[in-house]
């Protein structure tokens, strides 16, 4: 499990590196637990002032490992759904992601490649997000089979732009994300490391007690706006999306045709069939 996320401390900064590059750092329950544990370790280390979260390989994170979860049905309960069992499992993951937000010490997400689906939940749980201009962020499962359980889209973007993203499942690049205020900064990919280091070094020069007090004060404003209650609703809704007629169709389709084919259908703009929907042709699957 220790290899799932790399951990290094230097110059008052803790570096957490999602380390499943062959799967674009796709999320598993084990990875989520390891993330929570390492955030706690960094908080307990008196030498650490700031935490930097990054991804190995070509992406920050492409979301949940749906080749496992969708194709094998690990997130679907057939034939009957127990919503509380589902909620308990997903809340554990949400709480693990949100250890970054609840961390007493500031957290910075360094995003390259993709931070999509559950990967966007992790990135947006950090206090500050710096993206490469050509990186992509979005929550495509909003089209079917998902609801962002951290609910951070609305708290970062406001209602209208959050609806623009979650009613379409579209992704946007880093430059657009910065212009919209979703992330704090977007820079050319070649300058991403430098920009994150400069920001982390600036924070690392502040006493820990000052950092903690400023962060707790700002986070309390979000709690006063009902963040915790919104997350409860979002996590319950996430379970419902996976057990609706359309959600079950998506999982069964992925199990039969593979997750890439299911994603092509989901993102194509075609209607999502319910459980009695049509069987797609080879041409519709892009296999001709």
pLDDT, residue 288, reads 46
Helix axes 83-102, 29-44, angle to 10 degrees: 30
pLDDT, residue 55, reads 98
Q: Check: CB of residue 82 under 8 Å from CB of residue 136.
A: no
pLDDT, residue 190, reads 98
Element housing 225 (H / E): none
pLDDT, residue 280, reads 62
pLDDT, residue 76, reads 67
CA separation for the pair 143, 262 (Å, rounded): 12
The one-digit pLDDT tens for each residue of the chain (288 residues) are: 458 999 999 999 999 999 999 999 999 999 999 999 999 999 999 999 999 999 999 999 999 997 776 666 666 666 778 999 999 999 999 999 999 999 999 999 999 999 999 999 999 999 999 999 999 999 999 999 999 999 999 999 999 999 999 999 999 999 999 999 999 999 999 999 999 999 999 999 999 999 999 999 999 999 999 999 999 999 999 999 999 999 989 888 888 888 889 999 999 998 888 765 555 665 665 554
Q: Check: CB of residue 128 under 8 Å from CB of residue 54.
A: no
Of residues 61, 181, 49, 60, the one with CA closest to residue 128: 181
Structure tokens given for 41: 């370790």
Residue showing tokens 């970054």:
100
Of residues 210, 162, 185, 56, the one with CA closest to residue 108: 185
| 12 Ramachandran zone, left/alpha/beta (phi>0; psi -120 to 50) | left
Cis previous bond, 252, omega within 30: no
Q: Which whole-number Å values give the CA distances from 116 to 4, 14, 136, 236, 274, in the listed order?
A: 19, 24, 7, 20, 25
- pTM, full prediction: 0.94
Structure tokens given for 96: 């693990």
Residue 262: exposure state from Cβ atoms within 10 A (0-12, 13-18, ≥19): buried
Kindly give the residue spans of alpha helices, DSSP state H, lying in the chain.
Answer: 29-44, 66-69, 83-102, 118-124, 152-157, 159-166, 174-180, 192-204, 208-224, 227-243, 245-257, 259-267
User: Which residues have C-beta within 8 Å of that of residue 114, sequence separation ≥ 6?
Assistant: 24, 59, 60, 61, 62, 135, 136, 137
Three-class SS state of 195: helix
pLDDT, residue 1, reads 44
Structure tokens given for 46: 């008196």
pLDDT, residue 205, reads 98
Of residues 62, 14, 75, the one with CA closest to residue 41: 14
CA separation for the pair 158, 8 (Å, rounded): 35
Domain range list for the chain: 2-241
pLDDT per position as a tens digit, 11-42 = 999 999 999 999 999 999 999 999 999 999 99
pLDDT per position as a tens digit, 61-92 = 999 997 776 666 666 666 778 999 999 999 99
Class of CATH domain 2-241: alpha beta
CA separation for the pair 258, 237 (Å, rounded): 25
Q: How far apart are the first and last CA of the chain?
A: 41
CA separation for the pair 9, 46 (Å, rounded): 11
């Amino acid at each position: 499990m220790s290899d799932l996320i790399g951990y290094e401390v230097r110059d008052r900064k803790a570096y957490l590196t999602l380390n499943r590059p062959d799967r674009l750092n796709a999320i598993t329950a084990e990875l989520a637990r390891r993330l929570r544990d390492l955030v706690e370790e960094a908080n307990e280390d008196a030498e650490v002032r700031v935490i930097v979260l990054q991804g190995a390989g070509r992406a920050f994170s492409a979301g949940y490992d749906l080749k496992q979860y969708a194709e094998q049905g690990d997130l679907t309960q057939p034939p009957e759904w127990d919503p509380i069992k589902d909620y308990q499992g997903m809340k554990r993951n949400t709480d693990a992601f949100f250890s970054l937000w609840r961390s007493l010490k500031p957290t910075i997400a360094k995003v390259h490649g993709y931070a999509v689906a559950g990967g966007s939940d992790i990135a947006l749980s950090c206090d500050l997000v710096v993206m490469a201009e050509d990186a992509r962020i979005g929550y495509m499962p909003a089209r079917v089979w998902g609801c962002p359980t951290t609910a951070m889209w609305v708290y970062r973007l406001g209602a209208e732009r959050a609806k623009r993203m979650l009613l379409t499942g579209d992704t946007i690049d880093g430059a657009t994300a910065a212009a919209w205020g979703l992330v704090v900064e977007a820079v050319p990919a070649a300058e991403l490391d430098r920009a994150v280091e400069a920001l982390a070094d600036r924070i690392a020069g502040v006493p820990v007690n000052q950092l903690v007090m400023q962060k707790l004060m700002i986070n309390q404003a979000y709690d006063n706006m009902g963040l915790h209650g919104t997350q409860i609703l979002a996590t319950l809704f996430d379970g419902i999306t996976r057990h609706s007629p359309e959600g079950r169709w998506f999982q069964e389709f992925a199990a039969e045709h593979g997750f890439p084919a299911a994603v092509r259908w989901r993102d194509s703009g075609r209607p999502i069939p319910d459980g009695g929907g049509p069987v797609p042709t080879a041409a519709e699957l892009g296999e001709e």
